Amino acid sequence: MSPRHLEPRRRPEEGASAVEYALLVAAIAAVVLAVVLGLASIVRDAFQNTTNCVTGGASGVSCQTTPAP
């Protein structure tokens, strides 16, 4: 038998700790950042093509208009 004061104390594991929440927030932020960076070039190209069509400087860009319904 070992003395009671030498036994390791155990904490109840009933919920997520602040560290776990911080890791979760960091993971979500990384996913959001990856999506934003991935879409940035697509959005930039769309705006550039629109600008070229409006200003008449379309070089090899299809500037077809869709009829309104």
Q: Mind listing the pLDDT tens digit for each residue in 14-36? A: 667 888 999 999 999 999 999 99
Mean pLDDT computed over every residue of the chain: 80
pTM over cut 0.75: no
More confident residue, 31 or 50: 31
Residues 58-62: what's their mean pLDDT? 61
**Cβ contact 52:61 at 8 Å:** yes
Residue 49 predicted with pLDDT over 70: yes
pLDDT at 58: 56
Contacts of 24 (CB under 8 A, 6+ apart): 16
CA 24 to chain centre: 13
Question: Can you give the C-alpha Rg of the chain in angstroms?
Answer: 28
